[in-house]
Chain A
C-alpha cells in the first residue's frame, strides 16, 4: 500500500484528533469542538510548515 504525503497528513490528523477530542474533554459537544480544532491545527500547521520550508529554499 502507498499513499500520498497529504493523505498521510489527513489520516494522521483525523485519527489523532478523534482520540484527543474524546480524552481531553468531558462533554460530547466540547469533544467535537476540540477534535475539530486539533484537526484544523494539525493540517493547517503542516501546510504552513510546508510553505515555510518552500520559502526558505527559494
Chain B
C-alpha cells in the first residue's frame, strides 16, 4: 500500500493555468524521500476514493466550472467526509471557489459549492491579474493570480496569508486564500507548490501525520533551485506591480 494516496480532482476539466505543477511537486517531493505515492485522477464519472490522503482541485475556465459545479453535488458528501476526517485538501482558484458555499455570477443562479470552506465568492467587474506575494507563517508565498471572482471569508475560515503584492481574495481586505483545519484554498497559480516548497512539505507532513498519528519530520531536500525561483519571482512581482 502506498504511503500517500494523492487524488487529482477533475484533472481533465480544471487544468488550465499550469496547476499540474502542484501534482508533480507533491509526487516528486515524496518520491525523493522514498515516501511511496499513488496518484488517482477523478473526474465526472468517478467517485472520490475514501482512502484519499491529499486531494488537489485546480482552476478551470468558466464553462468547465459550471459543469464541475453541477457534478460536484454528487461528490459533495464524500468531500465533506474527507474534510471532516482531516484529509489534506488544496484547491486553487476555481477549485478554491467551489470548496466554498457558492459562486454568485453576474446573471443567473448561484453555483453551489461544497461548503467545506466558510467562504463566498461573487463575480466582480474587474479581473485581478498579476504576480502575487503573500505573507505566510513568517515567510512568503509567491504565485500569479488571474480571477474576477471576489472571495469573502466567513467566521470559520482564516486567511491563508496577508497580501504583500497583488489583489488577493477580493482586492479589498488584503487577505489571500483561506484555511480551515486541513483544507487550504487560494488564488495562487504559478504553479504554487514548486516555488513554495515549504508549503508543499507542510501539506505532505500533515497528510502523513494524520495517517500515522505520529509527529513527522521530513528529511530535508536540496531546494537551491526552488529557493532561487522563489526569490526571483518575488523580485519580479516587485518590478511588475
Q: Do A and B bind each other?
A: no
